[in-house]
Amino acid sequence: MQRHDLSFKQEIVKKLVKGKLDRKEACHLLGCSSKTITRYLDKAAKGGLGALKDGRHSNYSKLTPKQLLGVIKEKKE
């Protein structure tokens, strides 16, 4: 699945709500399922278009090459 810019997602949902796009077109443009479109519409109805922002946070931290080699070495032991 490809990630889209928040403003692009908001524009698609806005057009869908106004009837300028149908669900199938929205699914194609966003590369998602009809169920996801339903979730987007529910979020937008409850919290406005700003609610479409992806709220997940990553705990991924970048390691230096030296640290990465140390981790790999420890895992092999």
Mean pLDDT, range 20-43, rounded to an integer: 95
Evaluate whether residue 68 is within a structural domain.
no
pLDDT tens for 32-61 read 999 999 999 999 999 999 999 988 776 667
Is 65 within a domain? no
Contact (CB, 8 A) for 56 and 47: no
Tell whether 5 is covered by a domain: yes
Look at residue 61 and tell me if it is in a domain: no
CA distance 76 to 68: 13
Per-residue pLDDT at 2 exceeds 80: no
Q: Is 48 left (phi over 0), alpha (psi -120 to 50) or beta?
A: left
Range of the domain at 25: 1-54
On whether residue 16 sits in a domain, the answer given is yes
Residue 69 domain flag: no
- Residue 17 banded pLDDT, cuts 50, 70, 90: very high
Quote the pLDDT of residue 62. 80
**27, 62, 64 from 54: Cα distances, Å:** 17, 21, 28
Q: Note whether residue 70 is domain-resident.
A: no
The pTM score is 0.68
Q: Please tell me the total count of domains within the chain.
A: 1
